[in-house]
């Protein structure tokens, strides 16, 4: 099978966001292409989460344009949302459903379905394979976090899901898990994926892949 | 990773079934609204005494008002849990229109809170000594009317997401909009009991249902987008 290299681009032009009376950031412009990793830094309250939510279409920017492959994301709407995988602070996990049911449902919101064995495989990579059929209310915060992150293993083909937007993906994870996740993100980016993430500590990514964006005064 | 795409209908079915599954695992929430309806309607014969004529006269309005109130009790739950745990964000940025997602959640709400009332109401109507004919019209009017309650209610539920004291606010927003449903729903049963045709009231309920089906999910989906922003 001959695979053509992916050539997607997300460009942000003169973006500004306001929360209440406060201007979080303005005149923000950058472009991100396939195979690149964008690391957004900033103090607490500098607008990192707002920027990520704006990038995946949840918040509407006060000013500026966002375009995916040179088309405005507002006009693309669902066609754009289907390409983005967003993992935010909230795990979007229902306590009354099992890990398996939660993952199947999240996956179907992205428009896919997977076999149980694949989901078990992803959960085992994350060290929570035993929890697959337990209701998630009995799991710990870290375990719930891992179940939310399982989407990264199930939607890791850049041809189908070319952009990951991750808000603090490393919180509540132990060192071993941080390494596994770092390697997985690198592999996805090397395959032509695009990742935008925030984090308070910079994990050891291959420097040639990464671009930095500093929000706030610093 | 080998995964298969699913279509719009399949996703709609999954959203609906997920709501039903979650409700089934928390049966007490659904049951409490159902029992509220049974108990509230049963208080009237107890309080008013055994005057069959009086009970018969007030039955349509009592049953309809109680249906209205019990539907309203369950409204805050329509989107609240999804909003709190972040699922609502994922629903809105899924690859399907929010309108369809809102419609499925409204349908699930009706199946869980409206449909049980339609099924139990004829039984409760018996203690108000309603006749066979009247019970039939009552069931049909509730069948047409309760979906309107869920549809209109979804707008109030979406608008009050994340607000403190949202429950009371929903009542203030939604109850005035429920008035036409109450008037024509109870009116249809009243009409049949005084020997007139119930067709007028029922047709109007049908028309309102069609109208609500078009506008309510649309309005609710916009309100949901505002709520998560």
What residue in A sits closest to B23 (Cα-Cα)? A96
Please indicate whether, in this complex, the C-beta atoms of B22 and A157 are within 8 angstroms of each other: no
Closest partner residue to B228 (CB to CB) among A58, A118, A156 is A58
Question: What value does the mean pLDDT of chain B take?
Answer: 92
Q: Is A85 helix (H, G, I), strand (E, B) or coil?
A: strand
Closest partner residue to A78 (CB to CB) among B6, B18, B97 is B97
Place of tokens 């369809």: B100
Closest partner residue to B22 (CB to CB) among A96, A113, A155 is A96
Torsion-angle region of residue B42: left (phi > 0), alpha (psi -120 to 50) or beta? alpha
Please indicate whether, in this complex, the C-beta atoms of A86 and B93 are within 8 angstroms of each other: yes
Please indicate whether, in this complex, the C-beta atoms of B85 and A101 are within 8 angstroms of each other: no
Residues in chain B closer than 8 A to A110 (CB atoms):
94-95
ipTM of the complex: 0.88
Per residue in B34-92, pLDDT (tens digit) is 999 999 999 998 888 878 899 999 999 999 999 999 999 999 989 999 999 999 999 99
pLDDT band at residue A203 using 50, 70 and 90 as cut-offs: confident
Interface probe for B, chosen from A18, A19, A58, A163 (most Cβ of B below 10 Å), is A58
Per residue in A126-157, pLDDT (tens digit) is 999 898 999 999 998 889 999 999 999 999 88
**Percent with pLDDT over 70 in chain A:** 97
Calculate mean pLDDT across residues A114-134.
91
Rounded CA gap, A18 and A129, in Å? 42
- Determine the pLDDT at residue A1: 43
Rounded CA gap, A125 and A120, in Å? 9
What residue in A sits closest to B5 (Cα-Cα)? A112
Closest CA to B221 of B157, B168, B165: B157
Closest partner residue to B14 (CB to CB) among A86, A108, A155 is A108
Per residue in A48-82, pLDDT (tens digit) is 889 999 998 888 888 999 999 999 988 888 889 88
B229–chain A Cβ distance below 8 A for any pair = yes
Please indicate whether, in this complex, the C-beta atoms of B2 and A114 are within 8 angstroms of each other: yes
* Interfacial residues of A (vs B; Cβ cutoff 8 Å): 53, 56-60, 78-79, 81-82, 84, 86, 88-97, 101, 104-115, 118, 122, 135, 153-157, 160
Please indicate whether, in this complex, the C-beta atoms of B90 and A60 are within 8 angstroms of each other: no
- Determine the pLDDT at residue B1: 52
What residue in B sits closest to A122 (Cα-Cα)? B1
Instruction: Give pairs for B158-166: CB < 8 Å, separation 24+.
Output: B158/B78, B158/B79, B158/B102, B158/B219, B158/B220, B158/B221, B158/B223, B158/B224, B158/B227, B159/B223, B159/B227, B160/B76, B161/B79, B161/B80, B161/B83, B161/B88, B161/B223, B161/B224, B161/B227, B162/B83, B162/B227, B166/B76, B166/B80
Whether A16 has a pLDDT exceeding 60, the answer reads yes
Residue with the larger pLDDT of the pair A217 and B112: B112
- Determine the pLDDT at residue B43: 92
Per residue in B161-209, pLDDT (tens digit) is 988 877 789 999 999 999 999 999 999 999 998 888 889 999 999 999 9
Please indicate whether, in this complex, the C-beta atoms of A78 and B3 are within 8 angstroms of each other: no
Please indicate whether, in this complex, the C-beta atoms of A107 and B22 are within 8 angstroms of each other: no
Whole-structure pTM value: 0.91
Per residue in B138-170, pLDDT (tens digit) is 999 999 999 999 999 999 999 999 888 777 899
Whether A217 has a pLDDT exceeding 80, the answer reads no
Question: What value does the mean pLDDT of chain A take?
Answer: 88
How close is the nearest chain A Cα to the Cα of B1, in Å? 6
- Determine the pLDDT at residue A2: 46
pLDDT band at residue A211 using 50, 70 and 90 as cut-offs: confident
**Percent with pLDDT over 90 in chain A:** 39
Interface probe for B, chosen from A66, A94, A158 (most Cβ of B below 10 Å), is A94
- Phi–psi pair at A105, nearest 5 degrees: -65, -45
Closest partner residue to A118 (CB to CB) among B2, B89, B228 is B2
B6–chain A Cβ distance below 8 A for any pair = yes
């Amino acid at each position: 099978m001959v695979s053509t290299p992916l050539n997607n681009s997300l460009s942000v032009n003169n973006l500004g966001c306001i929360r209440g009376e406060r201007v979080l950031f303005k005149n923000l412009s950058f472009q991100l292409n396939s195979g690149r990793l964008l690391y957004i830094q900033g103090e607490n309250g500098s607008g990192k989460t707002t920027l990520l939510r704006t990038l995946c279409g949840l918040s509407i920017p006060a000013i500026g344009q966002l375009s995916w492959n040179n088309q405005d994301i507002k006009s693309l709407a669902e066609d754009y949302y289907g390409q983005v995988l967003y993992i935010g602070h909230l795990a979007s996990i229902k306590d009354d459903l099992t890990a398996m049911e939660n993952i199947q449902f999240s996956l179907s919101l992205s428009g896919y379905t997977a076999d149980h064995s694949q989901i078990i495989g992803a959960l085992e990579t994350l060290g929570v394979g035993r929890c697959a059929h337990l209701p998630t209310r009995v799991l710990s915060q870290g375990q719930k976090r891992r179940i939310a992150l399982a989407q990264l293993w199930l939607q890791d083909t850049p041809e189908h899901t070319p952009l990951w937007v991750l808000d603090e993906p490393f919180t509540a994870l132990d060192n071993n898990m941080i390494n596994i996740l770092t390697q997985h993100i690198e592999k996805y980016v090397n395959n032509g994926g695009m990742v935008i993430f925030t984090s308070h500590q910079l994990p050891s990514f291959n420097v040639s892949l990464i671009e930095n964006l500093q929000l706030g005064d610093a | 990773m080998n995964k298969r795409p699913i279509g719009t209908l399949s996703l709609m079915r999954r959203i609906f079934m997920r709501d039903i599954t979650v409700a089934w695992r928390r049966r007490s929430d659904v049951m409490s609204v159902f029992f509220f309806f049974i108990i509230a309607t049963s208080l009237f014969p107890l309080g008013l005494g055994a005057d069959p004529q009086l009970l018969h006269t007030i039955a349509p309005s009592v049953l309809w008002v109680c249906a209205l109130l019990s539907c309203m009790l369950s409204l805050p739950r329509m989107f609240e849990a999804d909003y709190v745990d972040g699922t609502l964000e994922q629903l809105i940025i899924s690859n399907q229109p929010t309108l369809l997602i809102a419609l499925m959640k409204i349908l699930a709400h009706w199946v869980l809170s409206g449909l049980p009332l339609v099924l139990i109401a004829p039984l409760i109507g018996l203690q108000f000594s309603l006749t066979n004919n009247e019970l039939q019209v009552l069931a049909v009017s509730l069948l047409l009317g309760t979906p309107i309650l869920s549809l209109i209610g979804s707008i109030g539920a979406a608008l009050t997401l994340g607000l403190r004291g949202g429950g009371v606010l929903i009542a203030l927003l939604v109850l005035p909009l429920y008035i036409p449903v109450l008037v024509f729903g109870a009116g249809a049963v009243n009409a049949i009991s005084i020997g007139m045709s119930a067709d007028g009231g029922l047709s109007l309920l049908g028309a309102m249902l069609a109208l609500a089906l078009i506008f309510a999910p649309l309005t609710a989906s916009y309100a949901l987008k505002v709520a998560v922003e």
